[in-house]
């Protein structure tokens, strides 16, 4: 009995998302700090596989890769719950604009516009979340006071970090996307 085309494409999608999530996890483990920024802020390139999943399938597919990556990272004991949640939210804020622009216009210009928009949204969104949720949660968990220094952390650390991370990921993603664009289009045609 042959599997139907619908179930076959669902299986391919599931396998692809699992692979992208695993690659994202491996890239997340290769994080590195940036000079002159707080050492707990580390750049990783794990949003690149999530971006490819979001472009290949849908924005939700990219979110699934982000959830998979952060869930595994936390379960392996490599991250704390607050850091894993922060990475998840930052990744979602970054990849959603890129995938939404791409699925609407299907051009390289839309990818670049999405990457710029995603970087800005991630920098602003993570600043707001750090001010109201993430830094207070860390302060509560670690038992230290951040009330007077929250704005300093955000302006001197969080904003520059997210902008630099967005630029690094974008600069690496664009040439990869250009190289893999024919393959992506071929796979999209097969899956639809």
Task: Map out the domains of the chain as residue ranges.
Answer: 5-191
Distance CA 9, CA 15 (A): 10
Which one of 3.40.50.720, 1.10.1760.20, 1.20.1740.10, 1.10.10.10 gives the CATH number of domain 5-191?
1.10.1760.20
pLDDT in tens, 8-48: 788 889 999 999 999 999 999 999 999 999 888 999 999 99
* In the predicted structure, residue 122 carries a pLDDT above the cut 90: yes
Q: What is the C-alpha separation between 110 and 128, in angstroms, rounded?
A: 26
What does the pLDDT look like over 33-90, one tens digit per residue?
A: 999 998 889 999 999 999 999 999 999 999 999 999 999 999 998 778 999 999 999 9
Q: Determine the pLDDT at residue 125.
A: 98
* 141-191 pLDDT tens trace: 877 777 668 898 899 999 999 999 999 999 999 999 999 988 888 877 777
């Amino acid at each position: 009995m042959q599997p139907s085309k619908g179930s076959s494409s669902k299986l391919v999608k599931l396998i692809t998302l699992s692979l992208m999530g695993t690659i994202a996890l491996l890239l997340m483990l290769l994080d590195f700090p940036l000079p002159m920024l707080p050492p707990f802020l580390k750049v990783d390139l794990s949003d690149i596989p999530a971006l490819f999943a979001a472009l290949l399938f849908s924005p939700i597919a990219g979110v699934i890769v982000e959830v998979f990556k952060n869930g595994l990272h936390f379960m392996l004991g490599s991250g704390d719950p607050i850091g894993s949640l922060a990475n998840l939210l930052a990744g979602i804020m970054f990849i959603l604009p890129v995938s939404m622009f791409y699925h609407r216009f299907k051009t390289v210009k839309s990818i670049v516009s999405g990457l710029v928009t995603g970087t800005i949204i991630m920098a602003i969104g993570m600043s707001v979340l750090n001010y109201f949720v993430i830094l207070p949660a860390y302060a509560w968990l670690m038992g230290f006071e951040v009330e007077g220094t929250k704005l300093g952390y955000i302006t001197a650390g969080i904003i520059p970090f997210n902008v630099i991370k967005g630029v690094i990921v974008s600069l690496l993603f664009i040439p990869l996307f250009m190289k893999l664009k024919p393959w992506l289009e071929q796979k999209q045609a097969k899956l639809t």
